Amino acid sequence: MTKLEKIYEGKAKTLYTTEDPDLLIQYFKDDATALDGKKKGVIHEKGKINNRISSRLFRYLEKNGIKTHFVDMPDEREMVVKKMTIFPIEVVVRNIVAGSLAKRMGMEEGAPLKETILELYYKSDPLGDPMINESHVMAFGLAKKDELTQIENTALRINRILSKFFDERGIILVDFKLEFGLHKGEILLGDEITPDGCRLWDKETLEKMDKDRFRRDLGNVEEAYKMILQKVMEHGN
């Protein structure tokens, strides 16, 4: 399968058409951005690391009954995915207080939650992804009611599967962002699951092993991503 035409270039990935109209190639770059694009940089080898992490997690989710856009990883920076129409919604699942939630609620990072929190954001770079709720989704026609219900239920199932997966590898899944899309009438998990879009803390030391190391200039960014890759590859099932 070869990359034909570039159809979209995002912050961390580029999408190309292929000879198969149903399939795209998602190319993982080393570029990193934070603070709504105001902070820009490169994390050495990130594209290769994230492609491997995401491929491993998508395969694992598929084995556990979650439908994803993942098809194959033919190259170290390339993932073959099913072509989807993406819902313009970012779904954030939170198990522990961190990031924007800590700020919004005036709480310390690391505070426990009585329940998992699920948040919705409108996917719009120029607007800085504003937070929305279910009635915004309906009122603006971002998804149908039954689609949103399925998306939310799937996000919570993914949280249960991945929290356990990471816990078994000595890592706390603090929070993460998911995107979903429609492919031939079916809702699939899209995008990527990597340290760019997840908060992952070492269970023993609570050390941050994710993009917060880049956002907050904590150093050893590549090392943290590599450590996560090593952990997700453990017990190879």
* Nearest CA among 34, 153, 132 for reference residue 11: 34
Sign of the Cα torsion 67, 58, 42, 104 reads: positive
d(CA 80, CA 70): 7
Closer CB to ligand UDP, 33 or 55, in the complex: 33
Interaction between residue 175 and ligand UDP (CB under 6 A): yes
Interaction between residue 177 and ligand UDP (CB under 6 A): yes
Interaction between residue 171 and ligand UDP (CB under 6 A): no
Q: Tell me, residue by residue from 68 to 97, as one string, x for binding to ligand UDP by CB under 6 A and - for no binding.
A: ------------------------x-----
**Backbone φ, ψ for residue 48 (5° rounding):** -65, -45
Interaction between residue 191 and ligand UDP (CB under 6 A): no
Contact range with ligand UDP by CB under 6 A, out of 40-48, 75-83, 136-144, 170-178: 170-178
Q: How far is CA 66 from CA 87, 189, 232, in A?
A: 17, 8, 18
- Tokens representing residue 42 in the block: 């490169």
User: Which residues inside 120-139 make contact with ligand UDP, applying CB under 6 A?
Assistant: 129
Does residue 23 contact residue 3 with C-beta atoms inside 8 Å? Answer: no
In the bound complex, what is the minimum distance in angstroms from residue 57's beta carbon to ligand UDP? 14
- Tokens representing residue 26 in the block: 């998602």
Ranked by CB distance to ligand UDP, the top (closest) residue is: 99
Does residue 174 contact residue 96 with C-beta atoms inside 8 Å? Answer: yes
Q: Tell me, residue by residue from 17 to 36, as one string, x for binding to ligand UDP by CB under 6 A and - for no binding.
A: --------------------
In the bound complex, what is the minimum distance in angstroms from residue 194's beta carbon to ligand UDP? 9
In the bound complex, what is the minimum distance in angstroms from residue 176's beta carbon to ligand UDP? 5
Does residue 72 contact residue 26 with C-beta atoms inside 8 Å? Answer: no
Contact residues: ligand UDP, CB under 6 A: 92, 98-101, 129, 175-177, 197-199, 211
